[in-house]
């Protein structure tokens, strides 16, 4: 069997190298050398392990077209979990070196503190980490997610955190219930005091810390959740960059966290919020139309181009990306996370 | 960007200075440019403040800002570009305010206010991109193509020295120690810089004026520290952890440490010092707190490893911060002038979050073996046993004194300082200060008739103590400091060391060995002029053994 040298250059111009055989996917080969590259589903579905091949040939296994559309494949984008080398490869990763872990991702136990319905089809789940040898703090970056093990099953589901790194050990989630979904089914009967196994933090959808451009956050449905975390982070840290939030849904009763957003605005007075409803009732006094409509209006009249943080469906992410690029925003100003069904 | 203010600036055959982002320190282009604009505006503030002072208008808040603002631009202090955008706005407001005060006072006294140009008239742009376009025009190397590197280098020597002065002045001010004489002189020097001087000899003379100003400021800071916390005492400091929750405090600001100690009292949390905070353990008021548990770690350049291993929150009170590792970025906090993008900044003196973090994080699981070093040899301590030291010299028990210290850094050439300290003969005493001491302060040096052979004088600003001690010895022996059996090996990294070096030069102290390199801004012409016109020694360190031998031969 032939082995190939794989080199991945990270966004901050560092690199990591490992060896991969032609029969092995890149993600597993890196794992074998204790190099834990950002990833999630490991089955070509979620798109979390995307990278771009800049040199060398490879075979791409079966992938979700949502996670890796044809035009992305055409420019050399791959999912590491579905990429098998046919030569030495050089790749570019869309994250900094710091996001690569060289140790096991922590697994911990957390207690259910609260489960409440906050909107049609959306539950708020508050967990608290059980103190262990590493203490009781919940340390993560705004925008990251945790994997929660479905009780009674080995399956894990990934959910973004809505709160901020904190010393109480609190992990706050807002979860869309999916009919028949494994974790959704659990949530229907979840009880305060339940113990859940969690793994993380994971994910590279985080704030550009040294960015100087205004930050625009664009979230559809529970795509709001990691953006809430980022906004809370800005508020708690007293960050002074101009910021806007575009939160989209169809109907009023799908909206959630409106009070939380107001609380953020109290601490972050420069934050402008546009709640966009595509099918509002007559009483709705906010923006009537989709997020895309709102963005199209606002991006057209800009003096300073913003950094865009987008979270939601593939359709939303693709739409915002195309719109932003067509308005002349650089590719580097976009950070996004797609919600895909597990 | 262009920056060559620190020792680790890029030096290649193609040129000198960090010209592309990030700089060696990690500073990005925007931060570098915004720091240049802030520095320029501060010169403009000084232009008006000096003239206002001449009219009898003294506004201490203006000088507070001058020192604080300059401090933020020191190496490894603040990397947060957004913070500089706001500091630039504040600087502009402060300049306009002192301008107004000056003009009103002038008119009240029947005089026509001067119309000032240069930094006094500089208008920072509104937008960030426009601001950054302005930056090259106000950077230290602006006009280098027609002024030449000697003029730029001489200006840099003055400016960087003033940055060091500002850092020390700021530390004194937070303790309530301020001097109108210092403020006035700082304004004068910055006003001089604002005039874009080109006379190299005059600039070198002015740089020595910076050194003289720094002596006053170090004296003020010494008064502030001893006035607030008592005089350093000989102290055995634990350098290994104790079981329990823990906070690590790094940087130089004793006032911040005092606040942390006060707020963590009776909370079951041990507070450890790190880096330049080590001497805090020798001040009576601070060491009276039973939970000041000792010092962990060493010099600043090792912080990424040491902070990652520390099982509690870390507080960075002043320089030197370097890019926080992901593993501790959530649990490091910055204070005062310090900043790093994404790191939580505390600006209200409330350490509740730090305490919460300490309680949530694991702390040390066990007691480590008790290890200790001895510190606390400030000038009060040493002058208290001066007669014993003089006797030891007269009897021949002490043949030579070495002052080996300053800032540490990563350059392998800094091993020189370790070699000098370790190989100094048994009948010599090594005095040390700054974080350069960590290279050898855990080594065994023994003593000479009860006088420890390694005397830790304190922080880098305690160079003032070293000067006091040297002056007292010279007096006892009825000779000049240069006639003493004393050799100075000074390690430099950033601008406080520049200020100290200028102070030593201003005092006429000769034979100082500076390393690991000479500052990049000191061109061969400037070095030659300092040596010939001002009769100063400006020597680069050589081989440790050879320098030791030469020093001891000189003694003989």
DSSP letter string over B466-510? Answer: HHHHHHHHHHHTTS-GGGSSEEEEEE--SHHHHHHHHHHHHTT--
The per-residue pLDDT for A69 is: 84
The per-residue pLDDT for B547 is: 94
Q: Which of B342, B353, B355, B365 to mutate to test the interface with A (most CBs of A within 10 A)?
A: B342
Residues of chain B neighbouring A139 (CB-CB closer than 8 A): 330-331
Nearest CB neighbour to A135, from listed B326, B353, B360? B360
B334-363 average pLDDT score: 96
- Shortest CA distance from B30: residue in chain A: A212
The per-residue pLDDT for B213 is: 98
User: For chain B, what is the radius of gyration of the CA atoms?
Assistant: 23
A7-17 average pLDDT score: 93
The per-residue pLDDT for A31 is: 87
Residues 6+ apart with CB under 8 A from B153: B521, B522, B523, B526
Q: Give backbone dihedrals phi and psi of A135, rounded to 5 degrees, phi first.
A: 90, -165
Q: How far apart are CA A305 and CA A322, in angstroms?
A: 15
- Spell out the SS3 assignment of chain A: CCEEEEEEECCCCCEEEEEEECCCCHHHHHHHCCCECCCCCCCCCCCCCEEEEEECCEEECCCCCCCCCHHHHHCCEEEHHHEEECCCEEEECCCCHHHCECCCCCEEEEEEEEEEEEECCEEEEEEEECCECCECCECCCCCCEEEEECCCCCCEEEEECCCCCECCCEEEEEEECCCCCHHHHHHHHCCCCCEEEEEEEECCCCCCCCCCCCEEEEEEHHHHHHHHHHHHHHHHHCCCCCEEEEEEECCHHHCCCHHHHHHHHHHCCCEEEEEEECCCCCCCCCEECCHHHHHHHHHCCCCCCCEEEEEECHHHHHHHHHHHHHCCCCHHHEEEEECCCC
> Comparing C-alpha atoms, which of B141, B196, B158 is closest to residue B15?
B141
A165-172 average pLDDT score: 96
Q: How confident is the model at residue A38 (pLDDT cuts 50, 70, 90)?
A: confident
**Chain-chain contact of A238 with B330 (C-beta, under 8 angstroms):** no
Quote ipTM for the complex: 0.86
Q: How far apart are CA B298 and CA B304, in angstroms?
A: 11
Residues 6+ apart with CB under 8 A from B324: B304, B307, B332, B340, B343
Q: pLDDT at residue B215 above 90? A: yes
Residues of chain A neighbouring B359 (CB-CB closer than 8 A): 167
Structure tokens at B202: 């005059």
Percent of chain B with pLDDT over 90: 89
Q: pLDDT at residue B129 above 90? A: no
**Chain-chain contact of B345 with A238 (C-beta, under 8 angstroms):** yes
For the ranges A42-51, B365-374, B430-439, the lowest mean pLDDT is seen at A42-51
pLDDT digits (tens, 9 = 90+) for A46-62: 788 999 999 999 999 99
A40 CA: distance to closest CA in chain B (Å): 20
The per-residue pLDDT for B556 is: 46
Residues 6+ apart with CB under 8 A from A102: A34, A35, A36
Q: How far apart are CA A61 and CA A84, in angstroms?
A: 8
Nearest CB neighbour to A240, from listed B30, B82, B330? B82
| CA neighbours closer than 13 Å in the CB half-sphere of residue A341 | 8
B187-200 average pLDDT score: 98
B442-470 average pLDDT score: 94
| Region for residue B508 given its phi and psi (left: phi exceeds 0; alpha: psi -120 to 50; beta: otherwise) | left
DSSP letter string over B375-418? Answer: E---HHHHHHTHHHHHHHHHTTS--EEEEEEE---S-GGGHHHH
Task: Give the H/E segment covering residue B154.
Answer: helix B149-174
B34 CA: distance to closest CA in chain A (Å): 12
A60-69 average pLDDT score: 86
A197-217 burial: b if 16+ Cβ within 10 Å, else e: ebbbbbbbbbbeebbbbbbbb
- Shortest CA distance from A169: residue in chain B: B360
Peptide bond into B330 cis (omega under 30): no
Task: Give the H/E segment covering residue B43.
Answer: helix B29-54
Q: How far apart are CA A223 and CA B212, in angstroms?
A: 61
Q: How confident is the model at residue B533 (pLDDT cuts 50, 70, 90)?
A: confident
Higher pLDDT, A304 or A267: A267
Q: How far apart are CA B270 and CA B261, in angstroms?
A: 9
B347 CA: distance to closest CA in chain A (Å): 10
A240 CA: distance to closest CA in chain B (Å): 7
Q: How confident is the model at residue A240 (pLDDT cuts 50, 70, 90)?
A: confident
Q: Give backbone dihedrals phi and psi of A237, rounded to 5 degrees, phi first.
A: -85, -5
B9 CA: distance to closest CA in chain A (Å): 20
Residues of chain A neighbouring B341 (CB-CB closer than 8 A): 209-210
Residues of chain A neighbouring B339 (CB-CB closer than 8 A): none
Nearest CB neighbour to B341, from listed A137, A141, A209? A209
The per-residue pLDDT for A101 is: 83
Residues on B contacting A at a C-beta cutoff of 8 Å: 28, 30-31, 79-82, 85-86, 127-129, 311, 325-326, 330-331, 341-342, 344-345, 353, 356-357, 359-363, 365
Q: pLDDT at residue B314 above 50? A: yes
The per-residue pLDDT for B20 is: 87
Q: pLDDT at residue A341 above 70? A: no
A163 CA: distance to closest CA in chain B (Å): 14
**Chain-chain contact of A168 with B360 (C-beta, under 8 angstroms):** yes
Residues on A contacting B at a C-beta cutoff of 8 Å: 98-99, 133-137, 139-141, 165, 167-169, 207, 209-210, 212, 236-241, 303-304
Task: Give the H/E segment covering residue B174.
Answer: helix B149-174
Percent of chain A with pLDDT over 70: 99
Place of tokens 């359709």: A315
CB pairs under 8 A between A and B: 60
Q: How far apart are CA B213 and CA B193, in angstroms?
A: 15
Question: CB pairs under 8 A, 24+ apart, for B95-101?
Answer: B95/B41, B95/B44, B95/B45, B95/B48, B95/B120, B97/B59, B97/B62, B98/B45, B98/B48, B98/B49, B98/B52, B98/B57, B98/B59, B98/B62, B99/B48, B101/B48, B101/B52, B101/B57, B101/B59
pLDDT digits (tens, 9 = 90+) for B255-302: 999 999 999 999 999 999 999 999 999 999 999 999 999 999 999 988
A144 CA: distance to closest CA in chain B (Å): 13
**Chain-chain contact of B342 with A209 (C-beta, under 8 angstroms):** yes
**Chain-chain contact of B330 with A241 (C-beta, under 8 angstroms):** no
Residues 6+ apart with CB under 8 A from A120: A251, A253, A254
- Shortest CA distance from B365: residue in chain A: A133
Q: How confident is the model at residue A303 (pLDDT cuts 50, 70, 90)?
A: confident
Q: How far apart are CA A214 and CA A302, in angstroms?
A: 11
The per-residue pLDDT for B161 is: 98
**Chain-chain contact of B344 with A207 (C-beta, under 8 angstroms):** no
Residue B124 in contact with residue B131, Cβ under 8 Å? yes
**Chain-chain contact of A137 with B344 (C-beta, under 8 angstroms):** no
Residue B404 in contact with residue B430, Cβ under 8 Å? yes
Q: Which of B29, B245, B330 to mutate to test the interface with A (most CBs of A within 10 A)?
A: B330
pLDDT digits (tens, 9 = 90+) for B165-189: 999 999 999 999 999 999 999 999 9
Peptide bond into B300 cis (omega under 30): no
B20 CA: distance to closest CA in chain A (Å): 14
Residue B231 in contact with residue B381, Cβ under 8 Å? yes
Q: pLDDT at residue B555 above 60? A: no
**Chain-chain contact of B362 with A133 (C-beta, under 8 angstroms):** yes
A65-70 average pLDDT score: 83
Q: How confident is the model at residue B531 (pLDDT cuts 50, 70, 90)?
A: confident
**Chain-chain contact of A240 with B86 (C-beta, under 8 angstroms):** yes
Residue A152 in contact with residue A145, Cβ under 8 Å? no
Q: Which of A137, A161, A204, A215 to mutate to test the interface with B (most CBs of B within 10 A)?
A: A137
Nearest CB neighbour to B330, from listed A133, A139, A239? A139
Residue B1 in contact with residue B21, Cβ under 8 Å? yes
The per-residue pLDDT for A102 is: 86
Q: What is the mean pLDDT of chain A?
A: 92
Q: pLDDT at residue A108 above 50? A: yes
Structure tokens at B113: 């206010």
For B194, the 3-state DSSP assignment is helix
| Region for residue B143 given its phi and psi (left: phi exceeds 0; alpha: psi -120 to 50; beta: otherwise) | left
B195-209 average pLDDT score: 97
Nearest CB neighbour to A167, from listed B80, B81, B356? B356
pLDDT digits (tens, 9 = 90+) for B382-419: 999 999 999 999 999 999 999 999 999 888 788 899 99
The per-residue pLDDT for A255 is: 95
Using the 8-state DSSP alphabet, how is residue B433 labeled?
E
B263 CA: distance to closest CA in chain A (Å): 18
Residues of chain B neighbouring A99 (CB-CB closer than 8 A): 326
- Spell out the SS3 assignment of B307-355: HHHCCCCEEECCCCCCCCCCCCHHHEEEECCCECCCCEEECCCCCHHHH
Residues of chain A neighbouring B345 (CB-CB closer than 8 A): 237-238
Q: How far apart are CA B262 and CA B249, in angstroms?
A: 13
Order of strands, edge to edge, in the sheet holding A145-149?
A: A156-160, A145-149, A195-202, A107-119, A122-129, A170-176
Q: What is the mean pLDDT of chain B?
A: 95
pLDDT digits (tens, 9 = 90+) for B229-239: 999 999 999 99
B435 CA: distance to closest CA in chain A (Å): 28
Q: How far apart are CA B99 and CA B113, in angstroms?
A: 10
Q: pLDDT at residue B211 above 80? A: yes
């Amino acid at each position: 069997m032939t082995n190939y040298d794989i080199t991945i250059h990270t966004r901050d111009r560092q690199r990591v190298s490992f060896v991969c055989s032609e029969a092995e996917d890149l993600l597993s080969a890196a794992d074998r050398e204790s190099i834990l590259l950002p990833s999630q589903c490991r089955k070509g579905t979620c798109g979390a392990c995307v990278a771009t091949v800049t040199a060398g040939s490879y075979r791409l296994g079966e992938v979700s077209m949502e996670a890796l559309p044809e035009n992305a494949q055409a420019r050399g984008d791959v999912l590491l979990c579905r990429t098998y080398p046919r030569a030495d490869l050089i790749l570019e990763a869309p994250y900094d070196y710091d996001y690569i872990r060289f140790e096991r991702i922590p697994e911990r136990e957390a207690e259910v503190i609260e489960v409440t319905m906050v909107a049609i089809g959306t539950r708020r789940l508050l967990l608290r980490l059980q103190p262990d040898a590493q203490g009781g703090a919940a340390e993560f970056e705004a925008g990251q997610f945790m994997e929660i093990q479905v009780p009674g099953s080995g399956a894990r589901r990934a959910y973004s955190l809505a709160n901020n790194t904190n010393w109480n050990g609190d992990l706050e989630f807002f979860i869309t219930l999916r009919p028949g979904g494994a974790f959704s089914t659990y949530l229907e009967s979840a009880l305060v005091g339940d113990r859940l196994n969690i793994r993380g933090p994971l994910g590279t959808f985080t704030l550009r810390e040294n960015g100087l451009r205004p930050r625009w956050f664009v979230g559809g449905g529970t795509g709001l959740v990691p953006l809430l975390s980022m906004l809370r982070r800005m508020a708690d840290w007293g960050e002074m960059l101009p910021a806007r939030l575009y939160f989209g849904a169809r109907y009023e009763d799908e909206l959630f966290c409106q009070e939380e957003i107001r609380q953020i605005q109290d601490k972050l007075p420069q934050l402008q919020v546009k709640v966009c409803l595509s099918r509002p009732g007559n009483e709705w006094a906010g923006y009537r139309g989709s997020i895309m409509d709102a963005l199209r209006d606002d991006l057209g009249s800009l003096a300073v181009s913003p950094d865009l943080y987008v979270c939601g469906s593939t359709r939303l992410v693709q739409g915002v990306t195309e719109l932003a690029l067509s308005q002349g925003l650089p590719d580097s100003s976009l950070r996004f996370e797609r919600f895909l069904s597990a | 960007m262009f920056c060559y203010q620190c020792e680790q600036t890029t030096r290649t055959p193609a040129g000198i200075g960090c010209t592309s982002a990030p700089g060696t320190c990690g500073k990005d282009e925007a931060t570098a440019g915004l720091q240049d604009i802030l520095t320029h505006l501060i010169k403009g503030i000084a232009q008006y403040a000096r003239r206002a002072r001449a009219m009898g208008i003294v506004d201490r808040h203006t000088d507070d800002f001058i020192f604080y603002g300059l401090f933020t631009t020191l190496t490894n202090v603040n990397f947060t570009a957004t913070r500089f955008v706001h500091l630039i706005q504040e600087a502009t407001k402060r300049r306009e305010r002192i301008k107004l005060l000056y003009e009103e006072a002038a008119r009240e006294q029947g005089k026509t206010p001067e119309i000032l140009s240069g930094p006094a008239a500089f208008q920072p742009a509104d937008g960030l991109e426009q601001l950054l376009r302005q930056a090259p025009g106000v950077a230290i190397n602006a006009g280098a193509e027609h002024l030449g590197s000697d003029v730029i280098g001489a200006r840099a020597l003055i400016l960087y020295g003033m940055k060091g002065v500002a850092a020390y002045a700021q530390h004194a001010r937070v303790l309530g120690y301020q001097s109108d004489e210092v403020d006035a002189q700082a304004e004068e020097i910055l006003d001089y810089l604002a005039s874009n001087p080109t006379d190299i000899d005059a600039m070198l003379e002015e740089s020595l004026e910076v050194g003289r100003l720094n002596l006053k400021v170090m004296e003020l800071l010494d008064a502030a520290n001893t006035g607030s916390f008592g005089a350093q005492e000989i102290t055995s400091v634990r350098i290994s952890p104790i079981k329990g929750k823990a906070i690590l405090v790094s940087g130089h600001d004793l006032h911040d440490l005092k606040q942390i100690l006060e707020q963590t009292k009776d909370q079951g949390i041990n507070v450890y010092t790190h880096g330049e905070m080590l001497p805090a353990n020798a001040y009576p008021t601070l060491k009276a707190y039973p939970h000041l548990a000792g010092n962990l770690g060493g010099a600043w350049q090792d912080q990424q490893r040491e902070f990652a291993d520390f099982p509690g929150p870390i507080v960075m009170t002043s320089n030197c911060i370097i890019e926080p590792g992901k593993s501790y970025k959530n649990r490091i906090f910055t204070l005062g002038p310090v900043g790093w993008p994404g790191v939580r900044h505390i600006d209200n003196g409330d350490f509740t979050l730090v305490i919460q973090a300490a309680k949530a994080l694991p702390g040390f699981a066990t007691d480590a073996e008790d290890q200790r070093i001895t510190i606390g040899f400030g000038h009060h301590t040493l002058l208290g046993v001066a007669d014993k030291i003089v006797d030891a010299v007269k009897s021949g028990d002490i043949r030579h004194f070495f002052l080996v210290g300053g800032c540490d850094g990563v350059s392998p050439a800094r091993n020189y300082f370790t070699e000098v300290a370790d190989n100094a003969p048994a009948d010599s005493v090594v005095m040390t200060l700054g974080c350069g001491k960590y290279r050898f302060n855990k080594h065994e040096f023994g003593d000479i008739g009860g006088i420890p052979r390694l005397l830790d004088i304190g922080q880098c600003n305690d160079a003032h103590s070293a000067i006091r001690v040297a002056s007292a010895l010279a007096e006892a022996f009825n000779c000049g400091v240069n006639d003493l059996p004393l050799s100075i090996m000074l390690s430099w990294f950033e601008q406080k060391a520049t200020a100290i070096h200028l102070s030593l030069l201003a005092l006429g102290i000769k034979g100082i060995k500076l390393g690991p390199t000479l500052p990049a801004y000191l061109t061969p012409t400037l070095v030659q002029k300092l040596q010939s016109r001002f009769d100063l020694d400006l020597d680069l360190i050589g081989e440790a053994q050879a320098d030791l031998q030469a020093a001891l031969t000189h003694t003989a």
